[in-house]
A and B are shown apart, each in its own frame.
Chain A
Amino acid sequence: MEQKWVVFQLEENAYGIDVQSVRSIERVIPITRIPNAASYVKGVINLRGVVTPVIDLRTRLGFDSIEETEETRIIIATLEHGDAGFIVDRANEVVEATDVRIEPLTDQKQEETTYLTAIAKGEEQLFSLLEPNRLFEEIIHA
């Protein structure tokens, strides 16, 4: 099957995650803070009766955190240890593999991060591919 990515924005940077692992995209709903958790853990939400953890992707990827806006979204992904959400500035579109060319990361990037897997480059766009499981890896033992 054709690979597709959900592409979203943090500041001016675009990222994409495999559409297969995205369960839903939610508007911002009230989040309950989790005390004594890692700094980027935003808290938990009530996602249709299931208590689901949410992280602030800005903090996780080293951006400054901002107040939420009309466009802020929570992307809910289905991961190895259950569903979890991450907050993004804006969710743009779904991009198909035919529209882009996949290029490997630079060696330096590869060393710096575990969650980036490749760069996707199209005529009008450029985005980094994220492996969402890696984003949540550390909070388990935080």
Chain B
Amino acid sequence: MDLNEYLGLFLDESIEHLQAINSSLLIFEQRLDDEAVIDQIFRSAHTLKGMSGTMGYDAIADLTHEMESALDLVRSKTQPATPDLIDVLFVAAEQLETMVEDISQGGTGKLDVATTVVRLKQFIQKDGETDKVAANPVVSVIKNFECDVYSESVVRQSMASGYQAYVITVELSADVILKAARVYMVFDRLQNLGDVILSNPTSDELEQEQFETSFDVLFVTMKSEQEIQEGIKAVSEVAQVLIQPFEVPVEPVAAAATLLEPTDNPLNKKPVETVDASGEAQTPIAAKTIRVNLERIDRLMNLFEEFIIDRGRLERIAAEVGSSDLTETVERIKRGTNELQSLVLTLRMMPIEQVFNRFPRMVRSVSKDVGKNIKLHITGAETELDRTVIDEIGDPLVHLIRNAVDHGIESKTDRILAGKAVEGNLSLRAYHSGNRVFIEIEDDGAGINHERVTKIALEKGLLTEEEAALLTPEEAAMLLFAPGFSTAETVTDLSGRGVGLDVVKSKIESLGGEVFVETKRGEGTIFRISLPLTLSIISAMLVKLGQETYAIPLTAIIETTSLKQEAILQAHREKVFDFRGQLVPLISLNQVYGLPQVEADAYSVVVVRSGEKLAGLIVSELIGQQEIVMKPLGSYLEGIRAISGATILGDGQVALIIDSNALLRK
């Protein structure tokens, strides 16, 4: 068997399971008795074990095997979970991640996991000491069957029409010989009495005898417990039958609310506590999906782009011809393609959750390392972003978050001295706004000491005294992103290792994004990243400069206006105008792009914004709004000032896209 073929699948699924383990572990830590969460970790470890075994990654298989055994003890209530166990599980999850990462880089996935295995084994061997707990019949524990949404609704409906739902635990005798046959007979009896909704293990696993001696079924019936008991007991080699009424799980919203209940938390002193402030249910419910090769989607995108260009062409022809039939058909095509477009674009979109998922654990371990108490709040994990951006944004975020934990939030002593709560807060937020996605990392730390930043920048020769004197606090804070800047007073293992924030900035810019800093001394800092929602199709305003056509992305535009000559004011050799009570600089695009400047009585002005800055761009004529397909100018013309790309218009001509951010930056 050629395993290479399955490698991609293995990696994808492993990553999903590792994420599930990670997020479940964090909940587990808070609520040691949450069976659903333990089950989730157990199942993921189990699946990983199976897959890695098949693929020949023994280290992963060994480690997951021990995890599974340890969790099984917890799951069966043989042994209570301990903080130590959770620590080992975190370590194990981290090692698994390292190995999977290694495999994805073409490595062998080998790692020395012996210490972790030993620690897990120690936990497992404690089994003997706590035999008294195990002596209680396992079945006496009230079990609630974990089931999917579908089964749940079936149960609800049955109960509505007078059926009772039970969880039946059937224990076969320890010396049972024909396990599968007994299972079959039990099921056969049950089918006569009512309906089996689900079983644990699954019926396939039961058939293949992949269980010890007991199994659970979720069962709906009109019969009494007595009748069921008798029915099953009639099968030979059945040792015990335990029947419990099944409780339909609470609605997800209510469930999430109980998750947030702080009194629910036995270990309040843990360094990190993750709060999913969005109120989403924490146990992820898998949506039905198929895997599609990204290349196919990209091809679809390219074809669609061509189509959009031709649609533009068709619209123009229809306008020229002036036939109402044609115009109407074109209008319909337009509506259809608009819908198609939003659909095609969503194909590449993925929730940022999978990037955010790794942060709770990271913040937990990093804050432990630096001896700080930090609470991480995540909101908007469901926010969707282009797949390419998802793939690339992880590293910059890791850097910014580590930076916030390391430098942003003060040490415990400093916080007490500043009269703040000992526990620091770190918020990670994602949200859509217009055609952009924003990701914010906010800490309630000391804020950026801009004088110190300026001083260091001066020492490193990044700017001159004169320049430094003119800096606003925000501009000074942005110096953190200058190449060769690092403020770490002590070089820690975490950040300040020479790879600076400048790398973060250039990475974000390469994705068409921007990064801003907002900071208040003593109150905290916000790093705000703004990213394009999709990389290629954007809404733009087409304008004319002389005879040339340019496009300005709509996201940058606040409004278009007409400005009389006398409304233009002069301030320190700069042209400005009054925009809603604010003096805003006027930029002549003709001048920027080397065209002759034209004097007129009135000017068409496009007011654009970049961050906090506004500017008015003088254009010769406003043509109108249009969807355009962004195309790169290619490496030969990279870095042309204030041009971010090109697009092909309906008439086949190329129009350049104005980079208003660059215009405002200076």
Q: Is B640 an interface residue (CB 8 A)?
A: yes
Q: Are B594 and A36 in contact, with the CB atoms below 8 A?
A: yes
Q: Which of A45-59 contact B (CB under 8 A)?
A: 45-46, 49-53
- Complex partner residue of A34 from B305, B637, B653, CB under 8 angstroms: B637
Q: Is B309 an interface residue (CB 8 A)?
A: yes
How many positions in chain B have a CB within 8 Å of any CB in the partner chain? 28
A-contact 0/1 string along B618-636, CB 8 Å cutoff: 0000000000000111111
A-contact 0/1 string along B653-666, CB 8 Å cutoff: 11110000000000
Q: Are A140 and B638 in contact, with the CB atoms below 8 A?
A: yes
- The docked-state distance in angstroms from the alpha carbon of A46 to that of B312 is 15
Q: Is B188 an interface residue (CB 8 A)?
A: no
- The docked-state distance in angstroms from the alpha carbon of A53 to that of B632 is 11
Q: Which of A1-54 contact B (CB under 8 A)?
A: 30, 32-37, 41, 43-46, 49-53
How many whole Å from A66's CB to the nearest CB in chain B? 21
Band of interface residues on A: 20 to 34
- Complex partner residue of B648 from A51, A53, A83, CB under 8 angstroms: A51
- Complex partner residue of B636 from A30, A32, A50, A139, CB under 8 angstroms: A139
- Complex partner residue of B592 from A32, A35, A50, A51, CB under 8 angstroms: A35
A-contact 0/1 string along B567-599, CB 8 Å cutoff: 000000000000000000000000011110000
Given contacts A32-B646, A35-B592, A81-B634, contact A49 B640 (CB under 8 A): no
Q: Are B636 and A33 in contact, with the CB atoms below 8 A?
A: no
Contacts of B640 in A (CB 8 A): 34-37
Q: Is B83 an interface residue (CB 8 A)?
A: no
Contacts of A83 in B (CB 8 A): 634
Q: Is B205 an interface residue (CB 8 A)?
A: no
Q: Is A62 an interface residue (CB 8 A)?
A: no
- The docked-state distance in angstroms from the alpha carbon of A139 to that of B467 is 31
- Complex partner residue of B654 from A35, A36, A45, A84, CB under 8 angstroms: A45
Given contacts A30-B653, A82-B634, A82-B635, contact A35 B593 (CB under 8 A): yes
Q: Are A81 and B635 in contact, with the CB atoms below 8 A?
A: yes
Q: Is B100 an interface residue (CB 8 A)?
A: no
How many whole Å from B164's CB to the nearest CB in chain A? 65
- The docked-state distance in angstroms from the alpha carbon of A84 to that of B636 is 8
A-B contact pairs, 24 of them (CB 8 A): A32-B654, A32-B655, A32-B656, A33-B548, A35-B593, A35-B640, A35-B641, A36-B641, A37-B637, A41-B637, A44-B633, A44-B646, A44-B656, A49-B306, A51-B633, A51-B634, A51-B646, A51-B648, A53-B634, A53-B637, A81-B634, A82-B635, A83-B634, A84-B634
Q: Are A51 and B594 in contact, with the CB atoms below 8 A?
A: no
- The docked-state distance in angstroms from the alpha carbon of A71 to that of B641 is 34
Q: Are B594 and A46 in contact, with the CB atoms below 8 A?
A: no
Q: Is B128 an interface residue (CB 8 A)?
A: no
- The docked-state distance in angstroms from the alpha carbon of A51 to that of B655 is 10
Closest to A45 in B: B654
List 3 tightest A-B contacts by C-beta distance, closest first. Answer: A35-B593, A81-B635, A32-B654
Closest to B655 in A: A32
Beyond A34-B656, A37-B637, A43-B654, 4 additional pairs, beta carbon < 8 A: A35-B640, A44-B656, A46-B654, A53-B637
Q: Is B643 an interface residue (CB 8 A)?
A: yes
- Complex partner residue of A46 from B593, B639, B653, CB under 8 angstroms: B653
Q: Is B652 an interface residue (CB 8 A)?
A: yes
Q: Which of A64-120 contact B (CB under 8 A)?
A: 81-84
Contacts of B656 in A (CB 8 A): 32, 34-35, 44
Closest to B305 in A: A49
